[in-house]
Structure formats: C-alpha cells, structure tokens
C-alpha cells in the first residue's frame, strides 16, 4: 500500500511539485575556465574533498533505502531515484574543481570498504523495516531531514566564506537542490511523526542514540570532526540553527544533535 494513499490531496501535490523541480545539474555548464582563479585554502580543500566523497556515496544510501518500505510509496520511490541523480553531480562538481586545483579525490564506490558499508546498511535497514514497518519509515525521513539540513547549512557557510567565483556558482546551484531535499524529507517526516506517538518515540530514540554527522561511516569520524571544526568554529550559531530545525520535527525537540557533535569535534582537537 502506498504510504501517501490516504493523505490529503494538498499534501500529495506538494510532493509532486517538488519532484517536478528535480533535475540533475549539468557539470559541463559551469565556467571551468575560472577553476584556478583563486587558490583554495587547505581547510576548504579538505572539506570539499570530504563532501565530494560523501555526495558520491549517496548511491550507497539510496540502494540501501530502496530495500525498505519507503520504496513502496510512489512519491518516495520517485524521490529516491531523482535524489540520487541530483546528489551524484554534486560530488562530481567538487571532484572536478579539486582536480583543477591539483587535488585528487579517489572514487571509492567500488572498494571493499564501501561494499561492506552497503551490505551492513542493507541488512540493518531491512531488519529494522521488517520489525518497525511504517514507524521505521518515519525514522528514515527524519534522519534524512537532519542530514539534508546539516549539508545545506554547511554549504551556506562555505558560500558565505569563499571568494572563489566558480565555487560560489557551484555552491549556489547545489544549495537550491539541497533546500528541496530538506523540504521533501522534513515534510514526509512531519506527516509520519504527527500520525503516531510510537513513531515519535522511536525516531527520538534512534536519533539520540545512533545519529552521527553526515558522512560518518562512509568516511572516518576524525575527518567529519575536522569538517565540523572548519564549518562550525567557536562562536558560530550554525549548529544551533540546525538543531532548531530538528526541534520542529514532532517529538524531536531538544535533542541538540549538532551542538553535541560540534562539542565532541572541538574536544577531540583539544
């Protein structure tokens, strides 16, 4: 049964509208002749290299999630396909920009480590989906909302800081798409969480107990922590801004996920 079958027409239209706007970026359409106008600083190179690998690994998440109940819903199934086609060019754009600047990003999608991550994710997600059924779907959508919002705020922070003309254009284009990804996940998550107290309890427990910053698992935690220190320096309100968005998800207020991740990242460097 489609998860949206019994939803109000207005809600379904909102998902349809978002889906209609989704289209992969054309990597060739950017002004690559400006890729070397400014030399990127080492912290930006490290952050872009991390994000390139994480964006390219969306395939791992998407294939993992397609094994769950989420993929039975026509909107979600269509979204997961369109989402993958949008995320991969994000990784390709960062990889190409870094290559112009003399930094190679290894494509690790076919490595044994990545295959193991995929297998582990599939087994875990399939088991959880069998046990918790539509409640696990709520966890999945809320998890996606947190990760898309974190990614979006990270890119906004990079865009604010850089004077690199091509990187600004690339980030501006990517940010538009990340906003839509967040809108989709958060809309779906709110609907599922509003509908069930058990979904709210399970989602809160899962996020509090198991959530890790975007990319941990695909990349080592110490790399994620270096990115967090770069994007969320002392005194930055970005982590708190993301946490406030998480607070808006029913049952998820006060988790402070990004605040805790930022504190941990800074403690690791102390």
Q: Is 219 helix (H, G, I), strand (E, B) or coil?
A: strand
Which residues in the 33-72 window bind Fe ion by CB under 5 A? 55
From the CB of 115, what's the least distance to Fe ion, in Å?
22
From the CB of 199, what's the least distance to Fe ion, in Å?
23
Residue 71 C-alpha from the chain's centroid: 18
Angle ∠(94,139,252) on CA atoms, nearest 5: 95
Q: What whole-number distance in Å separates Cα of residue 24 and Cα of residue 20?
A: 12
Helix axes 74-100, 42-56, angle to 10 degrees: 150
Contact 55, 87 (CB under 8 A): yes
Nearer to Fe ion, 174 or 207 (CB): 174
Nearer to Fe ion, 62 or 126 (CB): 62
Q: Which of 178, 223, 225, 243 binds Fe ion (CB under 5 A)?
A: 178
Nearer to Fe ion, 181 or 230 (CB): 181
Using rule CB under 5 A, residue 87 touches Fe ion: yes
Residues 6+ apart with CB under 8 A from 128: 68, 136, 139
Contact 239, 262 (CB under 8 A): yes
* Residue 114 tokens, joined: 């990545």
Contact 40, 167 (CB under 8 A): yes
Per-residue binding string, Fe ion, 126-165, x by CB under 5 A, is ----------------------x-----------------
Nearer to Fe ion, 195 or 216 (CB): 216
Nearer to Fe ion, 66 or 195 (CB): 66
Q: Which of 69, 164, 181, 204 binds Fe ion (CB under 5 A)?
A: 181
From the CB of 224, what's the least distance to Fe ion, in Å?
16
Range in contact with Fe ion (rule: CB under 5 A) among 17-25, 28-36, 62-70, 90-98: 90-98
Nearer to Fe ion, 7 or 184 (CB): 184
Q: Is 216 helix (H, G, I), strand (E, B) or coil?
A: strand
- Which residues in this chain contact Fe ion in the complex, by CB under 5 A? 55, 87, 90, 148, 178, 181
């Amino acid at each position: 049964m489609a998860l949206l079958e019994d939803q109000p027409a207005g809600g379904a239209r909102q998902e349809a509208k978002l889906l209609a706007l989704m289209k992969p970026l054309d990597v060739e359409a950017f002004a690559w002749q400006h890729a070397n106008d400014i030399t990127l600083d080492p912290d930006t190179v490290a952050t872009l290299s991390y994000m390139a690998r994480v964006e390219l690994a969306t395939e791992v998440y998407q294939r993992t999630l397609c094994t769950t109940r989420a993929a039975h819903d026509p909107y979600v199934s269509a979204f997961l396909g369109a989402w993958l086609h949008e995320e991969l060019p994000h990784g390709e754009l960062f990889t190409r920009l870094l290559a112009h600047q003399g930094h190679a990003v290894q494509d690790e999608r076919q490595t044994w480590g990545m295959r193991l991550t995929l297998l582990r994710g599939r087994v875990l997600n399939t088991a959880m989906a069998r046990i918790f059924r539509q409640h696990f779907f709520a966890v999945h959508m809320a998890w996606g909302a947190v990760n898309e919002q974190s990614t979006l705020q990270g890119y906004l922070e990079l865009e604010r800081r850089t004077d690199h003309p091509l990187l600004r254009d690339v980030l501006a284009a990517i940010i538009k798409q990340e906003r839509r990804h967040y809108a989709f996940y958060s809309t779906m998550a709110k609907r599922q969480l509003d509908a069930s107290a058990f979904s709210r309890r399970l989602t809160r427990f899962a996020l509090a107990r198991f959530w890790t910053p975007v990319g941990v698992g695909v990349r080592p935690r110490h790399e994620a922590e270096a990115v967090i220190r770069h994007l969320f320096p002392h005194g930055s309100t970005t982590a708190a801004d993301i946490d406030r968005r998480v607070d808006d998800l029913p049952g998820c207020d006060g988790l402070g996920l990004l605040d805790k991740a930022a504190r941990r990242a800074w403690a690791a460097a102390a």
